[in-house]
Amino acid sequence: MSGVNTGNLWDIFCRVIDNYGDVGVSWRLAAGLAARGQRVRLWLDDPSALTWMAPHGAPNVEVRHWAEPMRVPELELSDVLIETFGCEISPEFIASRAIDTPARGKKLLWINLEYLTAEGYAERCHGLLSPVMNGPSAGLTKHFFYPGFTPATGGLLREPDLLERQSRFNREVWLRTLGIDFKGERLISLFCYEPSALGTWLDRLAQDPQPSRLLVTPGRSTEALRTCISSKNRLQPGWNKQELLSFSYLPPLTQIDFDHMLWACELNFVRGEDSLVRALWANKPCIWQIYPQHDDAHHAKLAAFLDMMNAPPSMRAVHLEWNGVSRTQADNSENELVHALPRWQRTATHVRDNLLGQVDLVTQLLRLASKNL
């Protein structure tokens, strides 16, 4: 890549709040940098999810357990530090780098990789510098890096071979590897927390004239669904009497197979940050359950995302219902999805094509390193 520095050593730090989202983003970032010729140490306080998410690892990515208090090991000095999602790297690690880096005639780039948002402040704050005035890191400068959906932000994680891999994907073959007897029904993935509208959606799908199959991810999604079905079977025994709605409970999926699931479906229910980005690249309609915040700050974040998509009214209504923002149920006419999905698909394709025209996040990080090291 012309004009881009290669061969640097990166330390990426991540504190795990949601195993799937935090680790998902951090691992994709580490693997993406390594695939471009960089060396990466990925520090995680809980690396357990990688045993199924990325069981084979990646060349030039070393996973290290981040424990507190941190004993600063004798390590090769890195060129770049990344603290993901404001996790704040251990002060003893920063102190060692602040002392050793200039003493050995090296430069250090310190990046604060923020959460993804479509809100306006992402453009305003992306690339801002924050000199550290006191403490063990005094004299160093943080670079704020905001992922986003516009050219004025840091972009999104996207592998160079993504479109080529999608073009080779065969969903019938993939479904057979999971033992799913696919008979042409509508496929919908379910990756969620515990949405209050889940029961409403099960009724909606069970009453839809086109058969649907939910591909259900393990963990909270499976638990929420089984709890909801158990309640329905007790209170409304005939809610799915025509068996137009069926269920396939999936095993833990690698990141590659998670992409395959999204590509296989006509509609994807996703949650958090990493799965949202993968759903956008899948070029399929998606409904996003945003991570809830106690002060309802996620409502503004969701609204900004829907504005960015220029989402049609039916898609907006479903998002608000799914996220518990609005108690008004979305249109529940018999053929709702039959009519809505084609329009949602046009929206998804327009958004995906627009994002493909922007520079991806790893490329932008490499350009930042090239300018500062």
160: tokens are 């160079």
- Return all residues near 102 (Cβ < 8 A) that are at least 6 apart: none
Strands 9-14 and 129-131: unpaired
Distance CA 226, CA 146 (A): 37
- Comparing CA positions, the residue from 276, 287, 206 lying closest to residue 242 is 206
Q: Is 22 a catalytic residue?
A: yes
Question: In angstroms, what CA-CA distances link 343 with 187, 290, 306, 349, 353?
Answer: 17, 22, 15, 10, 16
Tracing tokens 């160093």 back to the chain, one arrives at: 140
**Helix, strand, or coil here: 338?**
helix
Helix (H) or strand (E) holding 31: helix 19-35
**Catalytic option among 273, 274, 321, 360:** 273
Query: Angle between the 297-309 and 336-356 helix axes, to the nearest 10 degrees?
Result: 80
Helix axes 336-356, 274-281, angle to 10 degrees: 90
Catalytic residue (choose from 22, 79, 321, 360): 22
β 212-216/186-190 pair status: parallel
Separation of alpha carbons 122 and 111, rounded Å: 15
For residue 288, which phi and psi values (nearest 5 degrees)? -100, 125
- Three-state DSSP state, 24: helix
Catalytic residues: 22, 273
